[in-house]
Structure 1
Amino acid sequence: MRYQDQLFQQRENALLQSARQLFQEQSWDRVTIAEVARHAGIGKGTVYKHFSSKEALYARLVLDCSRQHLGELRETANQAPPREAMRHVIRRAFEQLLADPLQAQLCLLCDRPAFQERLDAPYREQFLELEGQYMALFNQLLQGSFSELKLSPTDCQYLLWGVEACVNGVMARIASGGFAHWAEPIELDAYFQRVTDFIIAGLQGQAAALHTAPVLSE
């Protein structure tokens, strides 16, 4: 790699690390590009050679971390028996979010339509590609969990809507700080276990219902 390319990569990494640290210290919506540049020891104008906007910086943080998480989930799936892989992957996904509440906050931000509309096209395309990779993993998990039912792509899509809704609910709970402010705080590990049980039971019931549903005549 050329020296100029190495320097460019080093600056970009410094900006990403500084942004993450600042977001952990104060509300992400209050952090400015000027603060990120100052924290990284880089001129503000140089930031825009790497990121066209603060939204692009958010997006890059989310994409990089999400890709790492996806790799870990794939490894988790490969190490578990097919019938148990879905449960293991869901629990691992919850643990990833709990270990990094900032990622949960930024994921929820980046999922908003208004945020996506402000992104440059290449970033929107990367989010769509990443979503497709997550969908492919969970389709694989569904097919392994219910191999005898021979689920169609449409069946898998219906089932994944429910999984997504539950996972997004857990993500929002983690992003908001858990249950510490409740009169009777809930232990998060028990919460994750119950939600995982709920998802698995729902998948089992709905998969069976889709398989036995009568075909309506036109």
Structure 2
Amino acid sequence: MRYQDQQFQHREQAILHSALALFRQHSWETVTIAEVAEAAGIGKGTVYKHFPSKEALFAELVLDFSQRCLEGYRLLPAGDKPDDRLRQSIRQGLTDCRRDPLMAQLCMHCERPEFKERLSPEYRQRFASMEAAFAEHFGALVSQALGDLALPDSDCLLLLAAMDACFSGAMLRITSGRLGDWLGDIAMDTYLDQITDFIIAGLHGQAAHLLAQPRLQGN
């Protein structure tokens, strides 16, 4: 790699590091590019050479965080039961949100369609590729978890969407910092375990329900 390219990458990482540090200290919605530049020790114009907007900064941080999470899920052991890897992946995902609520908040922010519409085509494509990689990973785990319960691909996709909705709801609770007064003094670990068990039980229960439904000939 050329020296100029190395310097460019080094400066880009410094910008991301400075931005993330500021986002952790202050409201990430109010931090400005000028403040990021000052924290990184470079000019504001230099930041724009790497990231055309603060939204591009958000996108880069979220894509990096998502990639690291996905790599961690892929390394989880198989376990003894067909749904062990899926269970571990879901539980690990909830733990990742708990450990880094800022990044979980940014992930939810970047999922909004209106946010993605403001991104460059390159970033939109990178998000699409990342989402496809997650869908492929968890889709394979769902098929593995169902074992002999063979479902059409369309049904598996709906199950995956339902799991994602449950997970997203849990993310929202976790990042809010409170579970709700009505839950009393329930520990966060207990809460995350219950969410994981609920998703797994729902997967098996709904899969069995779908298989029991009469289908039109040829479907």
Same fold (TM over 0.5): yes
Q: TM-score range by the shorter chain?
A: over 0.9
What letter corresponds to residue 79 of structure 2 in structure 1? A
Which residue number in structure 1 is paired with residue 119 of structure 2? Answer: 119
Which residue number in structure 2 is paired with residue 156 of structure 1? Answer: 156
Q: Map 1:14-29 to 2 at 5 A.
A: 14-29=14-29
Aligned positions, number: 216
Separation of aligned partners in 1, 2:181 and 2:213: 42
Separation of aligned partners in 2, 1:87 and 1:20: 30
What letter corresponds to residue 102 of structure 1 in structure 2? L
What letter corresponds to residue 186 of structure 1 in structure 2? I
What is the Cα deviation at residue 117 of structure 1?
1.0
Report which stretch shifted further, 45-54 or 185-194.
185-194
Which residue number in structure 2 is paired with residue 169 of structure 1? Answer: 169
What is the Cα deviation at residue 210 of structure 1?
1.5
2:85 paired with 1:80? no
Separation of aligned partners in 1, 2:51 and 2:20: 15
Separation of aligned partners in 1, 2:181 and 2:17: 33
Separation of aligned partners in 1, 2:78 and 2:203: 21
| Structure 1 unaligned spans of 5+ | none
Which residue number in structure 1 is paired with residue 41 of structure 2? Answer: 41
Which residue number in structure 1 is paired with residue 2 of structure 2? Answer: 2
| Structure 2 unaligned spans of 5+ | none
State percent identity of aligned pairs: 49
Structure 1 contact 178–188 (Cα < 8 Å) conserved = no
Aligned-residue CA RMSD in angstroms?
1.6
Structure 2 contact 12–50 (Cα < 8 Å) conserved = yes
TM-score scaled by length of structure 1: 0.94
Structure 1 contact 58–106 (Cα < 8 Å) conserved = yes
Separation of aligned partners in 2, 1:156 and 1:177: 32
- SS at 1:119 equivalent: coil
Which residue number in structure 1 is paired with residue 62 of structure 2? Answer: 62
Structure 2 contact 78–84 (Cα < 8 Å) conserved = no
Separation of aligned partners in 2, 1:104 and 1:170: 11
TM-score scaled by length of structure 2: 0.94
Separation of aligned partners in 2, 1:129 and 1:147: 27
